[in-house]
A = this chain, B = another copy of it.
């Protein structure tokens, strides 16, 4: 069942069928109708591979996400897929390997499929992923990760504002000994939040603020890092975690050290991922507007793909503080 069959059935030439079935084709309304009727009657489906071969374009978008197991990414993926498909794009989802060569290959493999662009929710700073995409001239949008030199369009939340919200909240509760369990410096969010936290502490005259970097945004890493901070004579009275997964690890560590939350230790997470409102204690955290984040990202990519020479831009979304029960007044 090819375009030729339709042409035959409609009594026109294949070229006319092609035009009639596509948006911009210049065809007489009557002809178009005739063709569409024939196509429908025959159950004709255009051969996507042939069209891709001819046009060098496919209706595919590469979605590169680390750690699909992380509850934070589910909603992001959901928003992305929904919004992309609304515009006719399908999502090729890939988790990149750790090694540089593997990351390069992932982008190449995606490019081989003629993806129109890439949404990357996994970029590290100086990521081979980005260099490769850049070399291929592939439109890219970063979600929730900026890039060191801001070379790529991205949707991010304001990390400085996040830390300000967290810190103000803790200061208002009387805390003065505050630690930050930071995500890896190789990720823009890990780095930006750590730097903002440091700056703000200095501004507030908190000299002894501790910042510990973790190797990954995981519960295990959070636990380990938190132990090094909490398992001492005079532990801090509050901790700001780089994200919610790290916060869960901090919770583990607090339990291990016999510290009650929020009695002995106040804890602020980041992201407000699903279910953190139900854990014990319900987590005070910084909410990022996930739904809008992912929809904006999809839209931005679509714009970039549509208009190749769109200016590089960053859209910054504002986080907000959600106070639950993991924070309380300082005892000391």
The verdict on A7 contacting chain B, using a C-beta distance below 8 Å, is: no
- Is there contact, CB below 8 Å, between B95 and A93? no
In angstroms, Cα B66 to Cα A78, docked, is: 9
In the complex with contacts A45-B108, A82-B95, A280-B278, A90-B113 CB distance below 8 A:
yes
Interface string of A45-77 (1 = CB under 8 A from B): 111111011001010100100011111011101
Contact with A50, one of B45, B53, B282 (Cβ below 8 angstroms): B53
**With an 8 A cutoff between CB atoms, is A148 at the interface?**
no
A90/B109 contact (C-beta < 8 A), A48-B114, A95-B81 known: yes
**Within the complex, which residue of B48, B71, B114 is in contact with A112, where a contact is CB–CB below 8 Å?**
B48
Residues on B with beta carbons closer than 8 Å to the beta carbon of A56: 49
A 211-262 contacts with B by CB, 8 A: 248, 251
As for how many copies of this chain the complex holds, the number is: 2
Could you tell me the distance in whole angstroms from the C-beta of A215 to the nearest C-beta in chain B? 20
Chain B residues within an 8 Å CB radius of A52: 49, 52
State whether the Cβ of A13 lies closer than 8 Å to any Cβ in chain B: no
Do B49 and A274 have beta carbons less than 8 Å apart? no
Q: Is the CB of A94 within 8 A of B68?
A: no
Q: Which residues of chain B are near A280, meaning CB under 8 Å?
A: 278-282
Give the distance in Å from the alpha carbon of A69 to the alpha carbon of B275 in the complex.
11
A91, CB-defined interface residue at 8 Å = yes
- Cα distance A45–B63 when bound, in Å? 21
A58 touches B69 (CB 8 A): no
The verdict on A85 contacting chain B, using a C-beta distance below 8 Å, is yes
Q: Contacts A53-B50, A280-B280 given: A81-B108 contact, CB under 8 Å?
A: no
The answer to the question of A173 belonging to the interface, with a C-beta cut-off of 8 Å to chain B, is: no
Tell me the nearest residue of chain B to A251, going by C-beta: B278
Known contacts A58-B49, A93-B81; A69/B274 CB under 8 A: yes
Q: How far is the CB of A92 from chain B (nearest CB, A)?
A: 6
Give, as a whole number of angstroms, the nearest-CB distance from A262 to chain B. 14
Please report the C-alpha to C-alpha distance between residue A73 and residue B91 in the assembled complex, in whole angstroms.
Answer: 16
Determine if B58 and A68 form an interchain contact, defined as CB atoms under 8 angstroms apart: no
Q: A46 — which chain B residues lie within 8 A by C-beta?
A: 112
* Complex interface: chain B residues within 8 A of A92 (CB): 60, 90-93
**Nearest-Cβ distance from residue A294 to partner chain B, whole angstroms:** 10
- Least CB distance from A55 to B in Å reads 9
A275 to B58, CA, bound (A): 39
Chain B residues positioned under 8 Å from A81 (CB to CB): 68, 93-95
CB of A218, distance to nearest CB on chain B (Å): 12
Report A265-277 CB contacts with B as 1/0, cut-off 8 Å: 0000000001110
How far apart sit A94 and B231, CA to CA, in the bound complex (Å)?
Answer: 46
Q: Which residue of B lies closest to A52 (CB)?
A: B49
5 sampled A-B residue pairs with Cβ under 8 A = A48-B113, A63-B93, A69-B78, A70-B74, A92-B92
7 smallest CB-CB distances across A and B, nearest first, come from A280-B280, A68-B78, A49-B52, A49-B53, A278-B279, A275-B275, A71-B71
Q: Chain A: residues with CB nearer than 8 A to chain B? A: 45-50, 52-53, 56, 58, 60, 63, 67-71, 73-75, 77-78, 81-82, 85, 90-95, 108-109, 111-114, 248, 251, 274-276, 278-282
